[in-house]
Structure 1
Amino acid sequence: MATPNYGYEKRQKELAKKRKKEEKLKAKAERKHGGPEDAGAESALSNDASAATPGAEASDRGISGTSVA
């Protein structure tokens, strides 16, 4: 039977602790600056995705295959 690698386990625990601390600091900074900015980024991404579709730009400008009277 293999012996446990306590050094590896300790390092993984330290990394998890560091990651958690960084996440807490990031969340605290976001709260300090006026809330989560992820919600705004998600809506901006969805707007960009709809604009990236080929027909979206043409329909936004009123240009299409049929004539508009």
Structure 2
Amino acid sequence: MAKPNYKFAKRQKEMAKKKKKEEKQKRKDAKKLETAEDGVGIPEEAERPVSE
């Protein structure tokens, strides 16, 4: 009977975790970009007082 290769299993788990984290970051960046394009969620312009 073959013994389990723990290093391989650990590496696969780490790679899956890294891939999931990258995909999550891409979704966050896309959402942030989408809100910036719409002009929604940009508090800097709303906070500036209008000077005359």
The answer, yes or no, to whether TM exceeds 0.5 is yes
Max radius of gyration: which structure?
Answer: 1
Identity of aligned residues (%): 60
Q: Give the length in aligned residue pairs.
A: 35
- Unaligned runs of 5+ residues in structure 2 are 36-52
CA-CA distance at 1:4 after TM superposition:
0.2
Establish whether residue 27 from structure 1 lines up as the match of residue 11 from structure 2.
no
Rounded Cα–Cα distance in structure 2 between residues aligned with 1:27 and 1:34: 10
Structure 1 segments (4+ residues) deviating >3 Å: none
Higher relative contact order (CA 8 A, sep 6+): 2
Q: How does 1:36-55 map to 2 (within 5 A)?
A: none
- Unaligned runs of 5+ residues in structure 1 are 36-69
- The alignment's C-alpha RMSD in Å is 1.1
